[in-house]
Amino acid sequence: MRKKTTRRSFLKGSALTAASAVGFPFIVQSSALGLNGATAPSNRITVGCVGLNWMGMGNLGNCLGRKEVQVRALCDIDSNHLKKAHDTVKAKYGNDDCAAYHYFEELLARDDIDAVILSLPDHWHSIVSIRAMEAGKDVYGEKPLSHTLREGRAMCQAAKRYGTVWQTGSWQRSVPNFTQAVQIVRSGMIGKIQRVEVGLPSGFYESKDETPKEPPATLDYDRWLGPAPWAPYCEARCHINWRWHLDYGGGQLMDWVGHHIDIAHWGLDCDNTGPVEVSGTGEFPESGLWNAAKRYRCKAIYADGREFTIASGHSDIRSGTTWYGENGMWVYVNRGAIEANPKSLLDRKFGPDDTDVYVSTDHMGNFLECIKTRKKTITPIETAHRSASVGHLCQAAILTGRKIRFNPETEQILDDETANSMLGKAMRSPWRI
């Protein structure tokens, strides 16, 4: 811990010295750091990546494209994924210095790693994240923050205890059209918000073989299951497809809660609270392994009376986030799109002092900058927890078929022990948080 703290102090001190020497603001370009700029090894932020399939390879590539980052260690329990990632790093750096690990504990034990990038199935989020924070690492963790609401709260407590800089992979907060939409809403240009509609994807990806069989020799399947109940291996249970089974993920609802619901919360400045009442219905597969809802519609009501409709597979709710204000005014945003009524709302140009909206145009870059400055990222852990909590509550409402009342201060479902028990989940021994 002393070595990691000293290194962070050095990085921050270098930024301060470079800034004060030339009269620049506190935040400076990485090229201003050190004698040889961002390429100096002593100034690079050292990173370890855990989970190297799909999003993991994307996050690894994002790091490898930055001169201020040195990827020093990789970890995956599928040797095929690990080899592919390791070969990618070797080709980028032209050497074999990056270590490859089967066990994340070995990577976290290294004193020479400042931060970790975690791209894991949901049921592993809390365990590895908390171990990383205990080891003094800053963390970039994929959305949704947690597999259960209580795991999310434990992660928030750990971040506070260890002073962790945390960035969630809710990267839409670092895209200009989403920022613009939030600025319009937060500036009061459409008046008091009456309601919000959030459209999420429906269905699953293409089906995989559900036949139980021996796991491939390249995969440590028992460790992949980890805290989840034991179940026989099949292709439909693992890589990418895990998200359609509630033991490991939460369907499209939880897969996207950290995107469009997160943006809806951002627009209403709800990053530190949640709904007080949630109801919902869902349609589930009639057969097969996957048991998450394929199509659903939920309603979440907040203490001030504002109402969210969260829907998947319903034609009256389009994908993305729409805030409805007064006098027929509204703002809609999605990836690659922003619309408003009246259209003239989009003509407004916002300066740095016009709203209190945090502006970032580079999500990973924002994380790296905050490692140096120790400031909060654009999507810190409490923010991600509150966004994910909406999905956890919707799941409880859908699965019980009952309207639930929730206290966002105590984070308890009221007068419904069955629903309240769904906010946590037992872990298979020996795994604990």
Q: How many domains, in total, are found in the chain?
A: 2
Nearest C-alpha neighbor of 412 from the set 274, 251, 298, 302: 274
Using pLDDT thresholds of 50, 70 and 90, give the confidence band for residue 2: very low
Would you say residue 1 has pLDDT above 90? no
The pLDDT value recorded for residue 148 is 98
Using pLDDT thresholds of 50, 70 and 90, give the confidence band for residue 18: very low
- For residue 183, the domain's CATH number is 3.30.360.10
Rounded-to-integer distance, Cα 65 and Cα 133, Å: 25
The pLDDT value recorded for residue 235 is 95
Domain boundary among 153, 171, 189: 171
Domain boundary among 137, 171, 205: 171
Q: Give the mean model confidence (pLDDT) for residues 99-118.
A: 98
192: tokens are 């008091």
* Three-class SS state of 426: coil
pLDDT digits 0-9 by tens, 395-430:
999 999 999 999 999 999 999 999 999 999 999 999
Residues 127 and 223 in one domain: no
Q: What share of the chain is helix, strand, coil (3-state, %, to 5)?
A: 40, 20, 40
The pLDDT value recorded for residue 243 is 96
Place of tokens 């609270």: 273
Residues 206 and 155 in one domain: no
* Three-class SS state of 324: strand
Residues 114 and 205 in one domain: no
The pLDDT value recorded for residue 399 is 98
The pLDDT value recorded for residue 334 is 98
Stretch (H or E) spanning 266: helix 262-267
Model pTM above 0.75: yes
Q: Give the mean model confidence (pLDDT) for residues 321-330.
A: 98
Domain of 336 in residue numbering reads as 173-353+381-421
Would you say residue 392 has pLDDT above 60? yes
Residues 201 and 139 in one domain: no
Rounded-to-integer distance, Cα 119 and Cα 76, Å: 10
Would you say residue 333 has pLDDT above 90? yes
Could you tell me how many residues make up the chain? 433
Nearest C-alpha neighbor of 225 from the set 58, 21, 428: 428
Residues 134 and 166 in one domain: yes
- For residue 60, the domain's CATH number is 3.40.50.720
Rounded-to-integer distance, Cα 85 and Cα 102, Å: 13
CB within 8 Å of 9: residues ≥ 6 apart = none
Q: Give the mean model confidence (pLDDT) for residues 212-225.
A: 98
Residues 165 and 216 in one domain: no
Residues 281 and 400 in one domain: yes
Domain boundary among 156, 171, 186: 171
The pLDDT value recorded for residue 205 is 86
Q: Evaluate whether 224 touches 365 at the Cβ level (below 8 Å).
A: no
Provide the mean pLDDT of the chain: 92
Percentage of residues in the chain with pLDDT exceeding 70?
90
Q: Give the mean model confidence (pLDDT) for residues 99-121.
A: 98
- The beta strand positions in 284-358, using DSSP E, are 295-301, 307-312, 320-324, 330-334, 337-341
Q: Give the mean model confidence (pLDDT) for residues 165-187.
A: 98
392: tokens are 């956890």
